[in-house]
Amino acid sequence: MNEAAQASAELTVEHDHGLHLRPAADFVRLASRYRSEIRVTNLTRAGGREADGRSLLQVTALGVNSGHRVRLTARGEDAGEAVRALSDLIRSNFGAGDHP
Amino acid sequence: MGRPPVSVGLLLVSHSARLAEGLRELVEQVVQGRVRIAVAAGSEDGGLGTSAVAISAAVESLAGPDGVLVLMDLGSAVLSAETALELLDPAVRERVRMADAPFVEGAVAAAVEASLDSGLDAVLATAVAARGQGKLG
């Protein structure tokens, strides 16, 4: 048990639609596979709003548009894996589909 | 996600067919075919309103062991939905829930939850939680 495990990453969302619609749903679906608590912060918008990575409505309310920087933070036993997988999803441009 | 789409089905009940179809389009974009979605919207004469007969037929089109969540655009659709449930076979009816949730946010959030193969009560809870989720953060 390593309950204190924490991991984080900062990266840029390049998808044309940012973290909305399909990309946001893909993110939430992937985040839901991990046990760790996952938080997402929009670093580009003033105030640095934060969302529960498992809540589609909270994630979309961050207003992450293309080119925005986000911080992913996970806390829990699989924190490192979760941040790696979610970072990969963002870096892969959500499968690079051009639909929303 | 290799298994066939046997998840909770979502039924969008609206007074307006255009409103419900627009919401279906949005939800489909989010869940990309992972969730079955049906619409029961408009009155029997094609105007604005809701029809218990149309709602019960739509529930039957979605019915399965995983159940059906019904989302309504306005409270005045509740009576039609309740009447519709009375028309259903009790075995189907017991796997149907009505969501006291905002129509758009509730449907989108519920669809994502259903796409995770969550059970009916979890999908209902996610839809209802959308009520507390303000648009302005």
- When computed from its CA atoms, the radius of gyration of chain B, rounded to whole angstroms, is 14
In angstroms, the CA A31 to CA B28 distance is 20
B35 interfacial to chain A (CB closer than 8 Å): no
> Which residues are B13's β-sheet partners?
B40, B72
ipTM: 0.83
pLDDT tens for each residue of B66-78: 999 999 999 999 9
Residues of A in contact with B112 (CB under 8 A): 25, 28-29, 56
Is pLDDT larger for residue A47 or for residue A30?
A30
Subunit contact B32:A49, Cβ cutoff 8 A: no
Give chain A's domains with CATH numbers.
6-96 (3.30.1340.10)
The pLDDT value given to residue A96: 66
Q: In what order do the strands lie in the sheet with B9-14?
A: B37-41, B9-14, B68-72, B96-99
In the structure, what pLDDT confidence band is assigned to residue A10 with cuts at 50, 70 and 90? Answer: very high
The pLDDT value given to residue A4: 72
Subunit contact A32:B116, Cβ cutoff 8 A: yes
pLDDT tens for each residue of A12-43: 999 998 999 899 999 999 999 999 999 999 99
The pLDDT value given to residue A97: 53
Subunit contact B112:A29, Cβ cutoff 8 A: yes
Subunit contact A99:B112, Cβ cutoff 8 A: no
Residue A100 has pLDDT above 90, yes or no: no
In the structure, what pLDDT confidence band is assigned to residue A46 with cuts at 50, 70 and 90? Answer: confident
In the structure, what pLDDT confidence band is assigned to residue B135 with cuts at 50, 70 and 90? Answer: confident
Residues of B in contact with A57 (CB under 8 A): 105, 108-109, 130, 133
CA contacts within 13 A on the Cβ side of A80: 4
The pLDDT value given to residue B134: 81
**H helix count then E strand count, chain A:** 3, 4
Residues of B in contact with A29 (CB under 8 A): 112, 115-116
Q: Is the model's pTM score more than 0.95? A: no
Give chain B's domains with CATH numbers.
9-131 (3.40.50.510)
In the structure, what pLDDT confidence band is assigned to residue B137 with cuts at 50, 70 and 90? Answer: low
Active site residue B86: no
